[in-house]
Structure 1
């Protein structure tokens, strides 16, 4: 994985070899030879004119009282693991699936925001709230937060973007230090352990943004960019489909439109930029996408590719295995056991969509070594697991990672994405 970081840094900061070290080396050599000559000179009584030997002997004696008490600091050969911040969102009936996804994604050093939108019942949201607050490990590390004042979220309108920005703002304010923000839904599920993901991401520059994107919007220009829509989720208490304004608009000229997947892993610096918007671009683009159909597939993509500071940090991938029709429709296929091999061979860390409690999820749990209703074990889990107990209820060192075969699969994917053919050539084109 170190070669990935070196490769990226070379691309970002190209340097040429310089030979400025030759002149200082020559001067140092001349001075050393002169001092050596002085040590050979003696007075008439045979006493050295420059008693360097005595000086070094005294220094050696003094070291018994000083240097011997100093111990070198331990130096780790591995970079520190990053911290991830997750948003896991769902709607009516997704409470159980959201819990399962959270358990499969949990790590004590990460941060989590969970959200059941306003279409879910008060009882379902209360059940999730009670679960989060009663879970032994969640209570101990206090790193799972639930948005209790639920938002009404419709995928086709801007409310999903608003909900994502809401969760990101909470994590910036209350989540402490973290490196990447990852948005998922209750119908997503991981294909690798968090130890696999943290281990692999340890070797990556922390400013990379994994976001599937393209400026070739094709048919979307006529069907999404030019129409003007209004999302009832912005002002109503019940979900309803967006409605259309008869008047159409032209494509903007102040910024270039990009589109792609609604699922992404965004760096902390970019999330800071989206929330604070110090040059006003994020707010301007947000106002435009407030009337854009399926704005989650365009907002972050357009912001990052029009911001000079971030456009060269993109990795063109959403890190998901998704099965689409050809040509793609509004929603992908639901995955099942027949897709298991293709999911694993994709090397992706996440997959979607899944039906609630589909048998393929049990198969993925076997891959993750996760017991029913338990957390995915990692290097921090020290329990024996005897008598059906969760091994993660006995907590060890939370910085210790125990990657599995999923780390190797993910390494293969990242190596491919950062290759000469796929990294720079596919950025904001």
Structure 2
């Protein structure tokens, strides 16, 4: 019988914080299957002290924030999870800055009763109905192409990421993969997925390399690739509730860093995990006392 829940951890820094998260997941879920993709090129980390339920993607992918390499890292972690004898019914992706805020029994019950196959923040980006400024930004981001720029050009001109966007968007339409039968979905990076959703993502990734090729040329590919694959799968149900507590009130590119003042808010939420937490934040001790009385 498959375990109800397992985890994919995508990490690149803070080994002590990573170890703490693994310890809490093991205590909560009785040593569930955990697959790591850790970018050792950004932060060395000793792996021999991790328990036997933890496996690592080796060799790792050299990742960079917002680029397609993060999707490739997750795909490799999905494939490794797929190969495990204890492959779980549901897989939850986490970073080292995430932390559980609900008991395991509630998390498992919510997932087992879910009619969806894939929980991830996502919405369709319809060029004919760009409802908000966010939708317009997603259209500009994913319906265009980027070309690499040499550093000797990019640096003096202060071009972000050494890439230049080809515009206007209408001239790019023949060069993007979207049409009436394959539409763009965008949102946030973290997910909960059942076995058949993960199987479908892996199969699609290998059968449609042209889609991956397109997304290698866009910014923030982690916020569009899996969303688009699942959003266009007629036999799978996508639910935009990712069971995460995040506070975007600061208007920054990242969620607000959480502290003890936020504890009542995410306690009152239906979320299973919260992000982002700094290493050794006192609020993590508060959560430990709640989860392990």
TM (norm. structure 1) is 0.57
- The one of 89, 97, 121 equivalent to 2:10 is 89
Query: Residue in 2 aligned with 1:285?
Result: 211
- Equivalenced residues, count: 265
- The one of 226, 237, 251 equivalent to 2:144 is 226
Deviation of 1:212 (Å): 1.2
- Aligned-residue Cα RMSD (Å) equals 2.6
Distance 2:149 2:122 in 1: 24
Is 1:159 paired with 2:32?
A: no
Deviation of 1:146 (Å): 2.2
Deviation of 1:82 (Å): 5.1
Deviation of 1:231 (Å): 11
Distance 2:205 2:279 in 1: 41
Taking structure 1 as reference, are residues 118 and 258 closer, same or farther at Cα in structure 2, changes over 3 Å only? same
Deviation of 1:247 (Å): 3.3
Distance 2:285 2:218 in 1: 38
Distance 2:148 2:205 in 1: 27
Deviation of 1:277 (Å): 2.4
**Larger strand proportion of the pair:** 2
Deviation of 1:367 (Å): 1.0
- The one of 87, 110, 131 equivalent to 1:177 is 87
Taking structure 1 as reference, are residues 83 and 130 closer, same or farther at Cα in structure 2, changes over 3 Å only? same
- The one of 228, 232, 244 equivalent to 1:320 is 244
Is 1:210 paired with 2:210?
A: no
- The one of 95, 102, 115 equivalent to 2:37 is 115
Check conservation: 1:84, 1:180, Cα contact below 8 A.
Answer: yes
Query: Residue in 2 aligned with 1:73?
Result: none
Q: Deviations over 1:76-132 (max 9, x none)?
A: xxxx8852221112213x11111111112223462101232133343xx12xx1221
Distance 2:85 2:147 in 1: 35
Structure 1 segments unaligned to the other structure (5+ residues): 1-79, 133-137, 233-240, 371-429
Deviation of 1:151 (Å): 2.2
Is 1:358 paired with 2:281?
A: yes
Distance 1:90 1:81 in 2: 25
Larger Rg: 1
Query: Residue in 1 aligned with 2:162?
Result: 243
Distance 2:184 2:101 in 1: 32
Distance 1:361 1:348 in 2: 16
Taking structure 1 as reference, are residues 269 and 293 closer, same or farther at Cα in structure 2, changes over 3 Å only? same
